[in-house]
């Protein structure tokens, strides 16, 4: 039996595996980079070993260091999680060669599915339906096509190409991204199916020859070919579900599969299914399967690794409906630009369980972060998974959207508003979903907070700040803030907000009530009465309706969560320090990263939207585009250079 398990991973998945280990009485070992030294998963492990460095290549991709950590801590088994070395056949073989139990499929199965072109050929012989596929770009005459990384998944290295002109650059870019994420830049190309649904079957095998399907998940809502909303069971005709189960089990049996795996398919609008890939690991979205089957998939992984037969012999009937969203540190409105910084508050209301089963309708939170966690640039942007289970799909979507809308997520930009709008959209409710959903629905990128509500949010922030100052005043703390015997000028507070600077003017009367208020810029202001103001909560009466605002201040940053949405404001100093102005046309780095390629030269004429250079951060490439027609005046960076937030990447003099 396994007594001490090392998890060769980080963040949320490490915490998830540890949770099951605690329930089973298995001791745990964490390995961590320097950047992760204070992360929650490290604190929760029974033993932890430092991997010197920060980047994946220095730490979580080092087979030698991980095996040494297992030896030093006396671990007798290794769980790879997902990502990093999870689908590395060499790692699986090395774990077995070291005399340790490998909590995953055999190295032979990983190798067979790791070469995606060879996997397609093998599974086609087993009767699994395939899309047309090419390895030579010169053979392609019909578009659109999809460029894919051969060695990994998660959407990395994927590029949709709609004409021959963009194919060469898409292949080159996909190779760079795949090499950085998986250490292998091999790519292939397959037919791209418009408006297809991404569906997948969870399979499980044991060492006694059993391979079963545990239901179908729908993962069609994606950004950059990466899933952000997943659900089980997928809403499908029974006949399609049966075909998917049969094809997935055939794929598993073709490679003598053992452990947890996922066979992914594309469901075309005509009902045809096509194999995409087989992931030889536990998937990020496994909780929706757990909640609808009542099974702990990590427990099953450990039992199978110990040689036990699967405790289930056939596909269990689905119980209710589960929906999961991936909460990421990114700004969807800015091309999903990753966000970094300190997560000052991370609170999702109504969570009934973390990393485990639910006893009834409710929310599960699988999180890699807590209050105070630092989100850096070295790893994936996912912060947590929030999962709702309910008897029906509509109930699960409503509960999940409501919890996300009320969550307090302070300090780092997230995709929360996008997720809420997707879950509340009529199209999602009607299951009118496919992999192009976000491209067709730009309305879901709008923030939850309407622009005309920002003045009230700024007023609440100003009143809470004033209340905090009065509460800490050494004398006359009972007087209203800024009160004078003869009123002359209102109190003035200036903020940097989501749409630029906003100035709040207000005056309190003798009783502490709101005598007058206004904002600039801003249109007509509603009649507002102050019900109460505390440092962390302000209640306003707006045209006869009470509205409560939760306020959290960290230094000059003020985070306000209200009934219509949330906003982050930065209080501006009354007398700002002089600053150096950037040259006109300067393009600055939105976050720290590495310049992977410079596409232009100084003096070159460019058009608006032209690609100037490519920045890599959080394991993804981010294009830097010309904002207008003009001439490249400066290029202070070079390929391979490291840049910090705010560094000037290029200067384009507009025509």
Comparing CA positions, the residue from 444, 440, 403 lying closest to residue 425 is 444
> For residue 439, what are the CA distances in angstroms to 99, 191, 206?
49, 19, 41
Q: What is the mean pLDDT of residues 443-465?
A: 96
Q: In angstroms, rounded to a whole number, what is the distance separating the alpha carbons of residues 95 and 76?
A: 10
Q: In angstroms, rounded to a whole number, what is the distance separating the alpha carbons of residues 93 and 523?
A: 67
Q: In angstroms, rounded to a whole number, what is the distance separating the alpha carbons of residues 498 and 565?
A: 13
Least confident of 18-27, 127-136, 173-182, 224-233: 173-182
For residue 277, what pLDDT is reported? 92
Q: What is the mean pLDDT of residues 616-633?
A: 83
Q: What is the mean pLDDT of residues 346-363?
A: 95
For residue 646, what pLDDT is reported? 81
For residue 560, what pLDDT is reported? 98
> What letter does residue 91 receive in the DSSP assignment?
H
Least confident of 343-347, 374-378, 596-600, 616-620: 616-620
* CB atoms closer than 10 angstroms to residue 587: 19
Do the Cβ atoms of 403 and 349 come closer than 8 Å? yes
> What letter does residue 517 receive in the DSSP assignment?
E
Q: What is the mean pLDDT of residues 640-654?
A: 87
- Residue 579's pLDDT band (cuts 50, 70, 90): low
Q: In angstroms, rounded to a whole number, what is the distance separating the alpha carbons of residues 358 and 632?
A: 57
DSSP string for 572-612: PPSSPPP-PPPPTTEEE-SS-EEEEEE---TT-EE-TT-EE
- Residue 477's pLDDT band (cuts 50, 70, 90): low
- SS3 percent helix, strand, coil of the chain, rounded to 5, is 25, 35, 40
> For residue 260, what are the CA distances in angstroms to 68, 75, 281?
26, 21, 6
* Residues 163-216: tens digit of each pLDDT: 888 898 888 888 887 776 667 788 889 988 888 999 999 999 999 999 999 999
CA 225 to chain centre: 12
Which single residue is written with the structure tokens 């947890």? 260
Q: In angstroms, rounded to a whole number, what is the distance separating the alpha carbons of residues 225 and 192?
A: 12
Partners of 198 in the beta sheet?
266
Do the Cβ atoms of 388 and 377 come closer than 8 Å? no
For residue 577, what pLDDT is reported? 61
Residues with Cβ < 8 Å from 29, sequence gap 6 or more? 4, 5, 6, 7, 45, 46, 47, 48, 49, 69, 70, 73, 75
For 106, phi then psi, to 5°, come to -60, 150
| Furthest-apart CA atoms within the chain: distance in Å | 89
For residue 580, what pLDDT is reported? 60
For residue 448, what pLDDT is reported? 98
Tell whether the model's pLDDT for residue 447 goes beyond 70: yes
Q: Mean pLDDT across the chain, nearest whole number?
A: 92
Q: Both tokens of residue 37? A: 């030294």
Q: In angstroms, rounded to a whole number, what is the distance separating the alpha carbons of residues 410 and 560?
A: 9
Q: What is the mean pLDDT of residues 546-551?
A: 98
Which single residue is written with the structure tokens 């095998």? 205
Least confident of 166-175, 539-548, 577-586: 577-586
Which single residue is written with the structure tokens 């219509």? 564
* Residues 598-615: tens digit of each pLDDT: 999 998 999 888 889 888
∠ Cα 502 503 508 (to 5°): 140
Q: In angstroms, rounded to a whole number, what is the distance separating the alpha carbons of residues 346 and 356?
A: 19
| Dihedral (CA of 281, 287, 288, 290) sign | positive
- Residue 441's pLDDT band (cuts 50, 70, 90): very high
For residue 487, what pLDDT is reported? 63
Least confident of 124-138, 214-228, 238-252, 511-525: 511-525
Share of the chain above pLDDT 70, in %: 95
Tell whether the model's pLDDT for residue 146 goes beyond 70: yes
For residue 575, what pLDDT is reported? 67
Q: What is the mean pLDDT of residues 80-108?
A: 97
First to last CA, the chain: 71
- Residue 576's pLDDT band (cuts 50, 70, 90): low
| Dihedral (CA of 235, 258, 68, 3) sign | positive
Residues with Cβ < 8 Å from 241, sequence gap 6 or more? 216, 233, 234
Tell whether the model's pLDDT for residue 225 goes beyond 90: no
Residues with Cβ < 8 Å from 173, sequence gap 6 or more? 159, 614, 621
* Residues 394-420: tens digit of each pLDDT: 999 999 999 999 999 999 999 999 999
Least confident of 218-227, 228-237, 477-486: 477-486
Comparing CA positions, the residue from 415, 350, 422 lying closest to residue 384 is 415
Cite the beta strand spans of 84-194 per DSSP E.
Answer: 101-102, 133-134, 145-149, 159-161, 187-191
Which single residue is written with the structure tokens 């298995």? 26
CA atoms within 13 A on the CB side of 121: 7
For residue 24, what pLDDT is reported? 98
* Residues 125-145: tens digit of each pLDDT: 999 999 988 888 888 888 999
Residues with Cβ < 8 Å from 463, sequence gap 6 or more? 506, 514, 530, 533, 538
Inter-residue long-range contacts of 392-399, CB under 8 Å, 24+ positions, other chains counted: 392/320, 392/321, 393/231, 393/235, 393/321, 393/323, 394/429, 395/321, 395/361, 396/231, 396/320, 396/321, 396/322, 396/323, 397/323, 397/423, 397/424, 397/428, 397/429, 398/423, 399/350, 399/361, 399/362, 399/363
Helix 286-293 vs helix 297-305: angle between axes, to the nearest 10 degrees?
Answer: 90
Q: In angstroms, rounded to a whole number, what is the distance separating the alpha carbons of residues 255 and 112?
A: 7
Residues with Cβ < 8 Å from 462, sequence gap 6 or more? 491, 493, 504, 506
Q: What is the mean pLDDT of residues 625-633?
A: 89
For residue 173, what pLDDT is reported? 84
Q: What is the mean pLDDT of residues 310-329?
A: 95
Q: What is the mean pLDDT of residues 509-527?
A: 86
Tell whether the model's pLDDT for residue 94 goes beyond 60: yes
Higher pLDDT, 181 or 281: 281
For residue 478, what pLDDT is reported? 62
For residue 256, what pLDDT is reported? 96
Higher pLDDT, 486 or 190: 190
Do the Cβ atoms of 273 and 240 come closer than 8 Å? yes
* Residues 153-165: tens digit of each pLDDT: 666 778 889 988 8
């Amino acid at each position: 039996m396994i007594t001490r398990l090392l998890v060769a991973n980080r963040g949320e998945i490490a915490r998830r595996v540890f949770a099951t280990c605690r329930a089973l009485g298995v001791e745990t070992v964490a390995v961590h980079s320097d950047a992760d030294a204070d992360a929650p998963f490290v604190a929760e492990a029974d033993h932890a070993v430092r991997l010197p460095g920060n980047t994946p290549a220095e730490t979580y991709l080092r087979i030698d260091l991980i095996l040494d950590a297992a030896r030093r801590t006396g671990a007798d088994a290794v769980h790879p999680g997902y990502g990093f070395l999870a689908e590395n056949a060499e790692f699986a073989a090395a774990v077995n060669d070291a005399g340790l139990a490998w909590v995953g499929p055999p190295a032979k199965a990983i190798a067979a599915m790791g070469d995606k072109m060879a996997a397609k050929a093998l599974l086609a012989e087993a009767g699994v339906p395939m899309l047309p596929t090419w390895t030579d770009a010169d053979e392609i005459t019909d578009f659109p096509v999809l460029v894919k990384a051969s060695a990994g998944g998660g959407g990395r290295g994927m590029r949709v190409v709609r004409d021959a002109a963009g194919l060469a650059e898409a292949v080159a870019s996909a190779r760079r991204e795949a090499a950085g994420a998986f250490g292998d830049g091999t790519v292939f190309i397959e037919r791209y199916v418009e408006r297809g649904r991404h569906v997948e079957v969870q399979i499980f095998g044991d060492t006694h020859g059993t391979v079963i399907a545990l239901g179908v998940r729908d993962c069609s809502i994606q950004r950059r070919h990466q899933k952000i909303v997943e659900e089980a069971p997928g809403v499908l005709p029974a006949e399609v579900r049966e075909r998917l189960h049969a094809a997935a089990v055939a794929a598993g049996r073709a490679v003598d599969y053992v452990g947890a795996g996922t066979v992914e398919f594309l469901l075309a609008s005509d009902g045809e299914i096509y194999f995409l890939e087989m992931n030889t690991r536990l998937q990020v979205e496994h909780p929706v399967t757990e909640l609808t089957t009542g099974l702990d998939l990590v427990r099953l992984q450990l039992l199978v690794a110990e040689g036990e037969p699967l405790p289930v012999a056939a596909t269990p009937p689905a119980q209710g409906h589960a929906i999961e969203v991936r909460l990421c540190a990114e700004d969807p409105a800015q091309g999903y630009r990753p966000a970094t910084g300190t997560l000052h508050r991370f609170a999702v209301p109504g969570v009934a369980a973390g990393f485990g089963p639910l006893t009834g309708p409710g929310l599960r939170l699988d999180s890699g972060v807590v209050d105070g966690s630092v989100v850096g640039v070295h790893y994936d942007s996912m912060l947590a998974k929030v999962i709702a289970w309910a008897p029906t799909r509509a109930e699960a979507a409503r509960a999940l959207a409501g919890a996300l809308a009320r969550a307090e997520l302070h300090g780092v930009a997230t995709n929360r508003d996008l997720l809420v709008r997707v879950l509340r959209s009529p199209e999602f409710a009607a299951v009118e979903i496919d992999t192009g959903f976000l491209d067709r629905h730009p309305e879901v990128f709008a923030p939850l907070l309407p622009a005309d509500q920002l003045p009230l949010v700024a007023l609440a922030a100003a009143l809470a700040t004033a209340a905090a100052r009065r509460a800490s005043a050494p004398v006359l703390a009972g007087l209203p803030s800024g009160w004078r015997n003869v009123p002359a000028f209102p109190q003035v507070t200036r903020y940097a907000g989501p749409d630029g600077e906003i100035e709040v003017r207000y005056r309190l009367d003798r009783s502490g009530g709101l005598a007058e208020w206004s904002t600039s810029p801003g249109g007509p202001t509603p009649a507002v009465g102050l019900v109460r103001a505390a440092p962390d909560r302000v209640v306003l009466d707006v045209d006869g309706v009470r509205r409560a605002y939760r306020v959290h201040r960290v230094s000059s940053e003020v985070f306000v969560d209200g009934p219509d949405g949330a906003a982050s404001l930065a209080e501006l100093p009354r007398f700002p320090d002089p600053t150096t102005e950037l040259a006109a046309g300067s393009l600055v780095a939105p976050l720290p990263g590495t310049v992977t390629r410079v596409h232009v030269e100084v003096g070159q004429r460019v058009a608006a939207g032209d690609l100037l250079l490519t920045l890599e951060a959080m394991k993804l490439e981010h294009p830097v585009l010309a904002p207008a027609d003009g001439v490249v005046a400066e290029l202070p960076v070079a390929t391979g250079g490291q840049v910090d937030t705010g560094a000037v990447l290029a200067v384009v003099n507009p025509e």
